[in-house]
Amino acid sequence: MTEVHARLTAANGILHFRLAGCSSIPGVVATSLDTPGLTAQVVYDAPRNLGISAEAYALMATLPQAADDEDADIEWGHDPNGIAFRWRGSPDGFWHADNMRMRGSPPAGCTPVVNDVPQLSA
C-alpha cells in the first residue's frame, strides 16, 4: 500500500483528520506543531500525500461551500505540485460535518485508504 502523510476518514457524520507524523516535511506537509503562526495543517500534492476513504469522500460531498478562505474549515487549493489540502485545528482531530464548511472540491485520485476511524469516548 502507498505511504500517505495524512489520512481523512469518516463515520456517523464526523470527519477524522490525522497527520502521520508530528513534524513538517517541506513540500509534503506543514503542521501547526512546529510552524509558528500556522493554525492549520496543510498537505501538499494531496493526490499523492493524502489518503481519503470512500466514506470521507461521500461525507465531504454534503458539506456547504465556504464564502472565502477565512470561512472554510477545510480547503482545497493549488500548490506548486498540484493540489493542496488544508484543515483547521489539530493534527489529529474530529469535526462534525454539521459544523463545517469547505472551500473547493476534493480531487479524484487521492490514495484510497481503509476507513479506520478511532472510536470517540463519551
Per-residue confidence in pLDDT tens, the chain, 122 aa: 468 999 999 999 999 999 999 999 999 999 999 999 999 999 999 999 999 999 999 999 999 999 877 789 999 998 888 899 999 989 999 999 999 999 999 888 899 999 998 876 55
Calculate the alpha carbon distances from 39 to 11, 29, 32, 61 in Å.
Answer: 25, 13, 6, 24
Predicted confidence at residue 35, as pLDDT, reads 93
Nearest to 2 by CA among 85, 93, 114: 114
pTM, entire model = 0.90
Is residue 6 within 8 Å of 50, Cβ to Cβ?
yes
Instruction: Tell me how far apart the alpha carbons of residues 66 and 70 are, in angstroms, rounded to a whole number.
Output: 8
